[in-house]
Structure 1
Amino acid sequence: MKLHRITTTAIAGLFAATALVACGSDSDGSSTTVADGTDGVTIRIGTTDAAKEAWTVFEEKAADEGITLDIVPFSDYSTPNEALAQDQLDVNLFQHLKFLAEYNVGSGAELTPVGSSEIVPLALFWKDHDSIDGIEGESVAIPNDPSNQGRAINVLVQAGLVTLKTPGMVTPAPVDIDEANSKVSVIPVDAAQAPTAYQEGRPAIINNSFLDRAGIDPNLAVFEDDPESEEAEPYINVFVTKAEDKDDANIARLVELWHDPEVLAAVDRDSEGTSVAVDRPAAELQEILDRLEADQANS
């Protein structure tokens, strides 16, 4: 089945249009909803990973269920939530819970997680080393963006290399590190520059997307955070809808289809074996989101 795909440019044009047509409306202007269990429905879903194999397999699985996926590809991380909030999407899948919390608090939106997909561990790399033995005294390059900096510091906490002044912080900053009781120091850099630091011989925490671009084997990591730990919960990737659509049965079916063995196998190939499937109930995801939003609002 050949499905219509909308570019981010087209989405921007839709936002600017004065005669904007609401998502799912009929030609006569009456509102329609996705009927539970009805073949032939179309669901608009946004992602930043549309080119990956998993999305092709996912699309085919949905088609087998009578659901047409109108996959909307995005090249940035801000537009998919705006598109969802403005009814240009029914659901998106591109972000972890912490990113969603930051968006909701910053925008006043109430976008809601309805299912989980996977978590991609964040890892420490050290050229020509296969463990963290001997790393004491080194300066570790970490991403400087808010979403990843705190997680990177907590990777070092889990590795026993950094001690925080206040244990258990979800998003610590370099100022929160107890330098006197830590084994390494940190140097925040632009996430895209972390691979360069690694190639120069400095230990570095590198996001998966930049590993791929730099041609670094993710299996060379000397340490990574534990996807089963409480510290990793903010980084569970989720399906997200508007609050009023959280009980949509067809979207719930999409969440189930993402966990089909063939889709999961494709996700594993896409991530070179680094992603870990996560299947958490929507209620648990919402509880985590609530905690993160409270923390974000008080920061």
Structure 2
Amino acid sequence: MKLKTLALAATVAVIGAVAPAAAESIKIGVTPGPHAQILEAVKELAAPKGLEIEILEFSDYVVPNEALNAGDLDANSFQHKPYLDNQIADRGYDIVDVGFTVNFPIGIYSEKVDSFDEVPDGGTVAIPNDPTNGGRVLLLLQDNGYLTLADDVGTTPSIADIVENPKNLRIVEIDAAQLPRSLPDVDAAGINTNYAEEAGLDPVNDPILRESPKGPYVNLIAVKTEDQDEAWVQTLVETYQSDKIRDFIEETFNGSVLASW
């Protein structure tokens, strides 16, 4: 009996010494504003599922993919698919999209006019200096009859693709994060929603032109190709694409950010 008691005590001690399984911990890169706000909500919902998320904010669109490709991040959530495809083609990144997130219809804003028709002949229009977002603004101008672009330009036209410019617009390229600051110096500027909101602009009511929400520019979560089948990726995507996060987006952003899954 004494031996059985000692054996039982030893077994209990061993079981008690086994630590619970550690939570999976990942780092996700985002840009400031809505992407960061949404990920904070995702972080809270993912924690009880054993997924701990550290959110790192980046002020531009280039570094998050560089950091992910280098292994300094486990995932990022800030870009749409045309931009990711362009970055992979240009830089050879070994990363892949694993789930859609939200759409931010880009807008053209002005402090000088109330409609784009009022932009003067020869007026200056600032656009993002990255190919995909700059191209979005050019396509928006074409869709509204202010420019004509060459055929077959796809989703990434450039200034060189302008074939007709009836208002003789002067198109200037500026870093996307700096575009809100350019408004006093230009007649109009195409500004991504996250930077517009960060600058206190209303992406629903303030633009003098606004992109259709049904375009190809749905944002996504990206990971390294080698990680795409990891369990934490499925947990992350399922948590993001949940009804609770959809409700959070609708209640927080009032139509300026649209859930796209």
TM-score range, shorter chain: 0.7 to 0.9
In structure 2, what is the Cα distance between the partners aligned to 1:195 and 1:86?
31
3-state SS in 1 of match to 2:77: strand
Pair 1:278-2:250 in alignment: no
Q: What is the TM-score normalised by the length of structure 1? A: 0.67
8 A Cα contact 1:164 1:178, kept in partner: yes
Pair 1:275–1:179, CA change in 2 (3 A): same
Pair 1:63–1:167, CA change in 2 (3 A): same
In structure 2, what is the Cα distance between the partners aligned to 1:171 and 1:164?
11
The alpha carbon displacement at 1:115 in A equals 0.5
Equivalent residue number for residue 282 of structure 1: none
Equivalent residue number for residue 228 of structure 1: 214
Where do 1:187-266 residues align within 5 Å?
Answer: 187-190=171-174, 191=176, 194-196=179-181, 198-199=183-184, 202-218=187-203, 219-229=205-215, 233=216, 235-266=217-248
Q: Deviations over 1:106-145 (max 9, x none)?
A: 3322211010111211111234655444457362412251
Pair 1:178-2:163 in alignment: yes
3-state SS in 1 of match to 2:43: helix
1:103 aligned residue (53, 74, 87): 87
3-state SS in 2 of match to 1:62: helix
Equivalent residue number for residue 163 of structure 1: 148
In structure 2, what is the Cα distance between the partners aligned to 1:203 and 1:132?
8
Following superposition, which runs of at least 4 residues in structure 1 exceed 4 angstroms of deviation?
Answer: 128-131, 133-136, 268-272
The alpha carbon displacement at 1:239 in A equals 0.9
2:55 aligned residue (54, 71, 85): 71
Pair 1:101–1:258, CA change in 2 (3 A): same
8 A Cα contact 1:45 1:93, kept in partner: no
Where do 1:1-20 residues align within 5 Å?
Answer: none
In structure 1, what is the Cα distance between the partners aligned to 2:128 and 2:69?
28
Identity in percent:
28
Q: What is the TM-score normalised by the length of structure 2? A: 0.75
The alpha carbon displacement at 1:104 in A equals 1.9
In structure 2, what is the Cα distance between the partners aligned to 1:48 and 1:137?
38
Equivalent residue number for residue 153 of structure 1: 138
In structure 1, what is the Cα distance between the partners aligned to 2:62 and 2:252?
23
In structure 2, what is the Cα distance between the partners aligned to 1:63 and 1:192?
31
Equivalent residue number for residue 82 of structure 1: 66
Aligned residues: 237
Pair 1:184–1:194, CA change in 2 (3 A): farther
| Unmatched 5+ stretches in structure 1 | 1-37, 280-299
In structure 2, what is the Cα distance between the partners aligned to 1:170 and 1:196?
26
In structure 2, what is the Cα distance between the partners aligned to 1:130 and 1:244?
49
Pair 1:249–1:145, CA change in 2 (3 A): same
8 A Cα contact 1:124 1:203, kept in partner: yes
In structure 2, what is the Cα distance between the partners aligned to 1:138 and 1:72?
41
Pair 1:91–1:198, CA change in 2 (3 A): closer
The alpha carbon displacement at 1:61 in A equals 0.7
Pair 1:149–1:137, CA change in 2 (3 A): same
Larger radius of gyration: 2
2:30 aligned residue (35, 43, 48): 48
8 A Cα contact 2:153 2:161, kept in partner: no
3-state SS in 2 of match to 1:256: helix
RMSD between superposed Cα atoms in Å: 3.0
Pair 1:128–1:44, CA change in 2 (3 A): same
3-state SS in 1 of match to 2:150: coil
What letter matches 2:65 in structure 1? N
8 A Cα contact 2:104 2:258, kept in partner: yes
8 A Cα contact 1:48 1:76, kept in partner: no
Q: Which has the higher strand share?
A: 2
